[in-house]
Amino acid sequence: MHPLSRSLCALAGVLAFAALPQASADPLAELAAVSAFKSVDLDKLAAGTVQIARGPAMNFPRGLAVESVYVMRVPVQKALQIHEQWNPNKHPELKVYLHSELSSKPTAAEFQKLTSAPANGSVKALVAATDKLGSGSTSLQLSNADVKAYASTPGATSGGTFPPKVAGFWTNLLQQRTQNYLSGGAARMPAYETGGETVRLSEEVARLLKDAPKVRSQFGALIESNPLTGSKGTAPQSIYWEMFDEEGLAAINLGALYVRTSGDSCQAVDGQFYASGGYYTLLTFYQFWPVKVGGKDCALIWRCDLISAAELGTLKGVERMGSSTAMMRETKKSIESLLKDSRQTP
């Protein structure tokens, strides 16, 4: 699964199941109670319509929320599987350049796809920004220790789209960040320090959730059961990394997926625990409800994206509204691509 279509990737089967409140006898009533969607037409949704709305207004300056609802014409467990196995690389318009799943103990070799990045302007801009580390301010989201580490990374600074020194730096950083996360969750992640202030992942997550009370209520057990949004050390169902375009500069992220199921309904959260640019963290929550459309078992899906980004903190009024509209547009584009692919899935 990839939130803004950047992420929500190809993932594996559920590793742990835990009890959720029993499935609502009326999914549409539950949807109306927890979301921005007070009335939906299941037939229109089943025909491929995706409804998008702004999420709860946030006091957190860097925070923004977008909600969406759609239907897949397959049972809930199949819908979850389709989300897990979807690869946005098939859609050039989504600008997800690379995607790769990671093992529970990732090695440097699992980031070798970096060297196969496309030779486009966005990727070249990332390489150039990396090679300038230590020579002044940077747009890359790193710790001060990361910036210093680049100078001592071995390898040539030229040769191929991703030169050896640049590839080595990002391989080491991504592997270490993943190991940090797996050993202690959000609390173990190094702070972002190159944007003029110290930004900690755990604090960004907490502030996003504080301003989304209905998300906290609906997904409370899921939130508490993983080390990204809560305090439990549950192993992720899947972890992955991606490279995508962010306003003309390629960015690299790391994410993890957690799922909780009960009977024929389920919930999931796909969280980005590191991003080199674009945003500090992105949390995408999913609620899958079983519904019938035309006598066929289908899945009604409510999705809520919560994002924290440095640029949002400087926007007000019309500009902030514009960012919200852009996020809604990209989210809808991603979901429509997913639905298109799902109709081709056996």
pLDDT tens-digit readout, 263-275? 788 999 999 999 9
The predicted structure's pLDDT at residue 315:
86
The predicted structure's pLDDT at residue 15:
24
CA 68 to chain centre: 15
User: If you ran DSSP here, which 8-state letter would residue 247 be given?
Assistant: T
Whole-model pTM: value is: 0.91
Residue 12 has pLDDT above 70, yes or no: no
Whether 274 and 253 have beta carbons less than 8 Å apart is answered as yes
Give CA–CA dist 11/3, Å, rounded: 14
Q: What's the pLDDT tens digit per position in 24-61? A: 569 999 999 999 999 999 999 999 999 999 999 999 99
Q: What's the pLDDT tens digit per position in 282-297? A: 999 999 999 999 999 9
Q: What's the pLDDT tens digit per position in 196-249? A: 999 999 999 999 999 999 999 999 999 999 999 998 888 999 999 999 999 999
Q: What's the pLDDT tens digit per position in 99-150? A: 999 999 999 999 999 999 999 999 999 999 999 999 999 999 999 999 999 9
When pLDDT is cut at 50, 70 and 90, the band that residue 339 belongs to is very high
Which residue type occupies 3? P
Whether 228 and 273 have beta carbons less than 8 Å apart is answered as yes
Q: Which domains does the chain have, with CATH numbers?
A: 27-104+198-342 (3.30.530.20)
Whether 82 and 139 have beta carbons less than 8 Å apart is answered as no
Roughly what angle, to the nearest 10 degrees, separates helices 164-184 and 121-131?
80
Residue 19 has pLDDT above 70, yes or no: no
Residue 281: name the closest of 254, 303, 259 by CA: 254
Q: Where does residue 108 fall: left (phi above 0), alpha (psi -120 to 50 degrees), or beta otherwise?
A: alpha
The predicted structure's pLDDT at residue 87:
86
The predicted structure's pLDDT at residue 122:
97
When pLDDT is cut at 50, 70 and 90, the band that residue 1 belongs to is low
The predicted structure's pLDDT at residue 21:
39
The predicted structure's pLDDT at residue 25:
67
Give the chain's end-to-end CA distance (angstroms, integer): 19
Q: What's the pLDDT tens digit per position in 76-89? A: 999 999 998 888 88
Choice between 254 and 317, residue whose per-residue pLDDT is larger: 254
